Amino acid sequence: MAAASTILSDLPRHVHDAVRFYWQTRTKQLEKQAGSDAKDQGLRSAVTGGAQMDGFISLLTRLVIEAGIDRSHVFYNESLELPGYFPRPKSRSFR
């Protein structure tokens, strides 16, 4: 019986796909903005549309799940609060 394929066993291909997705998304965003009246400065237009890192997010998500982290503990696009200590905001009372 053949062993189940894992992401790590074919990591170079998965990284290649994520890098390709990154550059394809940047190019599409740059082309989209070139056709509109609103233009960002320099290469900023290629990244302000977001989503260019989604290929890496997907890959890292699959890697941590494959490593044993339960999918219910992996968050992106929602529930993004970072745990830690943040002091309570100072209240402005005018007495």
Three-state DSSP string of 24-56: HHHHHHHHHHHCCCCCCCHHHHHCCCCCCCHHH
In a domain, 82, yes or no: no
pLDDT at residue 95 greater than cutoff 60? no
Nearest to 58 by CA among 33, 22, 82: 22
Nearest to 32 by CA among 15, 52, 18, 17: 52
Model pLDDT, residue 2: 44
Q: Report if residue 93 sits inside a domain.
A: no
| Residue 4 one-letter amino acid | A
Instruction: Please report whether residue 83 resides in a domain.
Output: no
The span from the CA of 81 to the CA of 76, in Å, is 10
Mean pLDDT in residue range 56-70: 92
The boundaries of the domain holding residue 14 are 9-72
Looking at residue 1, its pLDDT comes to 39
Asked whether residue 81 is domain-assigned, the answer is no
**45 pLDDT above the threshold of 80:** no
Instruction: Let me know if residue 55 belongs to a domain.
Output: yes
Domain count across the chain? 1
The residue ranking higher by pLDDT, 92 or 62, is 62
Give domain status of residue 77, yes or no. Answer: no
